[in-house]
Chains A and B, each alone.
Chain A
Amino acid sequence: AQKVTQAQTEISVVEKEDVTLDCVYETRDTTYYLFWYKQPPSGELVFLIRRNSFDEQNEISGRYSWNFQKSTSSFNFTITASQVVDSAVYFCALIRGGSNYKLTFGKGTLLTVNP
């Protein structure tokens, strides 16, 4: 069975600070996909990134960056120079390769960016 752990329940930062959201996963599959989703107060889950288990390259998209390390089963998400609009709940999730049915979600991290 798969498991995703987001140990940080809530994080509060001041605008322009950098913040890292942690994600640790468990799976016995060799092929899997990892995701981050953002859930703003409106409720919609917004897809941010997908990373497959064979690609450990870190990725940067604007102020967002992701660090995937299979050795520690972690897929951490960093926001650089945070902004108030980054305030949301962030979910890390995992899906088995070849099984496009069930996303296993972490419990989410509530990020509050204060002005």
Chain B
Amino acid sequence: SQTIHQWPATLVQPVGSPLSLECTVEGTSNPNLYWYRQAAGRGLQLLFYSVGIGQISSEVPQNLSASRPQDRQFILSSKKLLLSDSGFYLCAWSSESGNTIYFGEGSWLTVV
């Protein structure tokens, strides 16, 4: 069966510091991969999606970037965090031809 993991689960970072959140999927090949953010107030926003290695699409211009160095690995990064980057970040995947998106456990980021 397919599994998705992301880490770290919790992160407290000072303003201006870098960020790296990592996500891996097991049990499938050529997945579509996604990063979502959930800010206070519960709204879920798609940040990035990827349909293949090195292929990244950004939904919202921001202080963050994403990379996909391997088929089942998706990384969310920032060179300098802002206070507004605080939130709950969720990695997700779907099969190449599937229409169901499955989410990871999420990572809580607090920028102080």
Contacts and interface: CB of A to CB of B under 8 A. Distances in A.
Interface residues of B, number: 26
A103 B103 CA distance: 12
B7 interface: no
A103 B101 contact: yes
Contact of A44 (B32, B94, B106): B106
Contact of A43 (B34, B57, B101, B105): B105
Interface stretch (A20-28, A56-64, A72-80, A89-97): A89-97
B105 A102 contact: no
Contact of A45 (B41, B46, B103): B103
Contacts of B46: 101-103
Contacts of A95: 99, 101
A16 to B, nearest CB: 27
A49 B41 CA distance: 24
Given A33-B99, A101-B57, 13 more contacts: A42-B105, A44-B104, A44-B105, A45-B92, A47-B100, A50-B99, A95-B101, A100-B32, A100-B99, A100-B101, A101-B32, A102-B46, A107-B42
Question: What 7 A-B pairs are tightest by C-beta distance, nearest first?
Answer: A45-B103, A43-B106, A105-B44, A108-B42, A44-B105, A33-B99, A101-B49
